[in-house]
Structure 1
Amino acid sequence: MINIQRLSITIATITICLFWTSLTLAKEKKPKPPKNFPPSPLEITVPDPLLPTSANQPLSEGEKNSLSAALDQLDREATAKLQAGDTQGAFAIWNRELRLRRYLGALAEIQALQRVGGVAYTKNDKEEIGYITKRLQAIQKQSQQTSDLQILQALGEAYRQVRSPSLAVQVYNQVLIIVRDSDTVKEVDTLKTIAKIHLDWFDYPSAATTYEELLNLVSNNSDIEESLKNLAYIYDQTKQYQKAIDARTKLSLVYRQQNNITELAALRLAIASDYEALAKKSPALVDEAFQNYQEAYAMAWELRQYVSAAEALQKLVALYVASGQTEDALQTSQILLQAEERAANFYGMMNAYEQIGKIHLQRQENQLAIAAFQKGLELAQQLGSETDQFTQQIDKISGKS
């Protein structure tokens, strides 16, 4: 008879052996990662029927013209596919076009890469952007010793289209070396481009350095104004309020030369805001904030710019309240009401009445507070706005809640 126990042990042993053998085989047969990634579609070297058989030699002008016309047609076909919703098909055609554009020279290829790169960015096609950026870098490497400004500027713009700011700045710095001390106009234009790239990508320190450099080069008011405006903005963003004030003070000289009172009024408002920010750490500077808000309001009122005047008056009221000067706050609030009325800003009037009511309430002038809240309530009802903020205050003062 068969020994059942011995048979069970034998089967178990065979099972275990088979299990370990299968593991070993699986381990040995584990697929290895590819040694190379698939090539970029821009680097495929398969012969293309659009190329002449003599493509190994430089193309003649006639051959270039024919190829250029054929590639323009490919661009139109790709655009049509994109508009029809076939994004993948569109980029397949564009990649073929880009592969062939290099036969027309570096500039033609870069301009095509820039165009298609812009489309790839709008479609958030990161893979395509990667292919194009890699190809641009290859061209840049080949052009390191070039002094051809047209090619370098095209490269820089192409990098901007695919949102590679650091690579763009590298190229424009190369341009800067070429034009510096020989062509001031191009030097200024290049610095403007570099500064804008830094600013657009929130590299505020580099942008500030470049705009400061620009100020030492430019002489016309338009360029000075642009540089100072951007510097003031940068310094506000980086909370360097004194530097922002300095930039705006220089800018005010430009506006005074132009007798541009409109811009001066807006500038006073911005300077006042900077002083108010500084006053949080240096309370003595609050007087500068008051003075500049008052000047901003007076200038705007004179120009009948009641919206701007109201903005300055709102800031003044808040500053008076924060300083405990409630009488001045109330008087300024009355002027604010007139400004809002002249600006036909009924929401502004409603908010002004609310502010007046709160100031009266702080001064324990309950009846005057109720009167202000009541006027605010009437405006809120007319505007279809939220009325609870007024009714609750009125009820609370009247002892109804």
Structure 2
Amino acid sequence: MLKPLSLMITATILWQFSSSLTLAQSQDPQQADKFPPNPLEITTPDPLLPPLRDKQPLSLPEQQKLETALDELNQEAAAKLQTGDKVAAFEIWNRELRLRRYLSAVAEVTALSRVGEIAWNRSDRQQLYYITQRLQAIQKQAQPKKSKTPNSVDLELLQALGVAYQKVRSPKPAIEVYNQVLAAVRQQKDTSREIDTLKTLAELHLSWFNYAQAAATYEELLKFATSTGERQDELTYLQQLAYIYQQAKQPQKSIDVLSKLQEIYSQNDHQTQLPTLQLAIAANYEILAKDNADLLLEAFKHYQEAYTTAWQLQQYGRAAEAVQKLIPLYRSQGQIDAALQTSQILLEAEARAANYYGMMQAYSQMGQLYLDKQDYPPALTAFNDGLEIARRLKHQEAYFTQQIEKVSKLKGNR
């Protein structure tokens, strides 16, 4: 389970990095001073437009003719960009974008989205600013009057705006737009679109590292999946929540989600994932035990379960990981004999996993534990065994040699 989530954090970090380049809101006068007037707001008559009659909309044949001409402009701009003439390319695209509004708001936003993504990929901050500013103006115009209900919003336009904001890496206004969409589809009782919108919002919140909102949204999605018996969706949302609560450092909520995942994995073909879950649950209990010592027993229990399950599944590396966590817990409680017994299990697990570095560390731990008991002969044996492996690995030879000298002196002084 955690492996796919690690891929997702990489994607999330990349999103946040990209978002840091997003330009400020157009209302910022300091930002506006950085660039010339927005070319997307030029109102000079264009030869491609027929003479406008008292601002009447274009007829259908006129729209079709204009659309064909604008598609040709898009191709021309793309060709310019391929030759390396970025300035000329965006000049042509800006002309295309100015004229798209005469087709429809959705057509304009879709084109802004397309060119915005190109600007983003080319790291053109000035063009991104122009496009973002225009998107904000369209969004403002699309707002329903206070007297109207969410049903009065143009859902198609809002959806297009949401996509466009994502393409120019502006999660915050995208979230605002999708929240409007969510309110509207809920008013319409359109469950399918509500779920789709919640998924988009959850991803956006996560991309902005807003763990609280991301978790709340995934919890909503989880309720939908649980109520409809969509087991695969339920599994996906639980995995997302496990990742979010881990990142947000909320151990109790992590335990709750991981326990649900453990229950699901125990009943299907995902049992190989159980040791990883049990280790994560134990680690969270260990964190909670810092404020509530009684919960240390729960940490012990789940580390032991992780070891047992991993051993049965012949996942000796995972078994060693679980046992490795138990040793310092026993040691912190003064249970040195239990820690030594566990070290023997660790040694066997590392041997089965063919992890020689792990075996060397296990011998080191055993030597230190025997030193705690002032039991020098077995301590000397453990360090000598560790030195033998260290020589093979050509690693930490000096450390084991020093320990052997130290124990030999202590043994001789008795």
Could you tell me the TM-score, scaled by structure 2's length?
0.77
Match of 2:192 in 1: 185
Equivalent of 1:327 in 318, 327, 337: 337
| Bigger mean CA deviation after superposition, 155-164 or 99-108 | 99-108
Deviations 1:285-319 (A, max 9, x none): 11111111111111122122222222212212222
Q: Confirm whether residue 303 of structure 1 aligns to residue 313 of structure 2.
A: yes
Q: Percent identity?
A: 52
Secondary structure class of the residue paired with 1:177: helix
Q: Which residue, 370, 378, 384 being the options, matches 1:360?
A: 370
Cα distance between partner residues in 1 of 2:86 and 2:330: 60
What displacement does 1:190 show? 0.9
Partner of 1:158: 164
2:21 aligns with none
User: In structure 2, how many angstroms separate the alpha carbons of the residues matched to 1:64 and 1:328?
Assistant: 82
CA distance in 2, matches of 1:172, 1:205: 17
From the superposition, tell whether residues 375 and 182 of structure 1 become closer, same or farther in structure 2 (CA, over 3 Å): same
The alpha-carbon deviation at position 240 of structure 1 amounts to 2.6
CA-CA distance at 1:320 after TM superposition: 1.8
Would the alpha carbon gap of residues 121 and 73 (structure 1) be closer, same or farther in structure 2, given more than 3 Å must change? closer
- Counterpart of 1:214 in structure 2 is 221
Letter paired with 1:191: L
Q: 1:37 to 1:343 in 2, by over 3 A?
A: closer
Check conservation: 2:74, 2:93, Cα contact below 8 A.
no
Aligned to 2:387: 377
1:200 and 2:201 correspond: no
Q: Which runs of 5+ in 2 are unaligned?
A: 1-31, 145-151
1:163 match: secondary structure: coil
The residue correspondences of 1:2-401 to structure 2 (distance < 5 A) are: 38-48=36-46, 51-54=48-51, 58=58, 60-81=62-83, 84=84, 88=87, 90-145=89-144, 147-180=153-186, 182-219=189-226, 220-258=230-268, 260-399=270-409
Alpha-carbon distance in 2 for matches of 1:398, 1:160:
67
**Could you give the per-residue CA deviations for residues 69-111 of structure 1, whole angstroms, max 9, x where no partner exists?**
3133134225414xx5x65555445434433443443333323
What is the aligned length? 363
CA shift in 2, pair 1:124/1:332, >3 Å: farther
Structure 1 unaligned blocks of 5 or more:
1-33
Cα 1:73–1:355 change in 2 (3 A) is same
Distance 2:218 2:82 in 1: 43
Is the partner of 2:225 in helix, strand or coil?
coil
Q: Aligned with 1:217: secondary structure?
A: helix
| 1:334-362 Cα deviation digits (max 9, x unpaired) | 22223223333333223222222222222
* Aligned-pair CA distance for 1:35: 10
C-alpha spacing 1:166/1:360, structure 2 compared with 1 (3 Å): same
Q: For residue 196 of structure 1, what is the amino acid of its counterpart?
A: E
Q: Which moved more, 1:159-168 or 1:130-139?
A: 159-168
AA aligned opposite 2:247: Q
Number of the residue aligned with 2:4: none
Task: Tell me the secondary structure at the aligned position of residue 294 of structure 1.
Answer: helix
Return the structure number with greater relative CO, CA threshold 8 A, min gap 6.
2
Moved more, 181-190 or 271-280: 181-190
Contact 2:182 2:197 in 1 (8 A): yes
Moved more, 90-99 or 179-188: 90-99
1:123-170 Cα offsets, whole Å, 9 max, x none, are: 544333222211111121232246443332221122123232221111
Please tell me whether the aligned partners of residues 40 and 97 of structure 2 are also in contact (alpha carbons under 8 angstroms): yes
* 8 Å CA contact retained: 2:73, 2:92: no
**Is the Cα contact below 8 Å between 1:317 and 1:329 reproduced in 2?**
yes
Q: Choose 210-219 or 384-393, whichever is displaced more.
A: 384-393
Question: Which of the pair has more CA radius of gyration?
Answer: 1
Corresponding residue number in structure 2 for 1:26: none
State how far apart, in whole Å, the 2-side matches of 1:394 and 1:115 are: 69
Q: Does the Cα contact within 8 Å between 1:117 and 1:132 map onto a contact in 2?
A: yes
Give the aligned CA root-mean-square deviation in angstroms.
Answer: 2.9
Deviations 1:230-270 (A, max 9, x none): 33333333333222212222233332343532233322111
Rounded to whole Å, the distance in 2 between the matches of 1:135 and 1:222 is 40
Amino acid at match of 2:110: Q
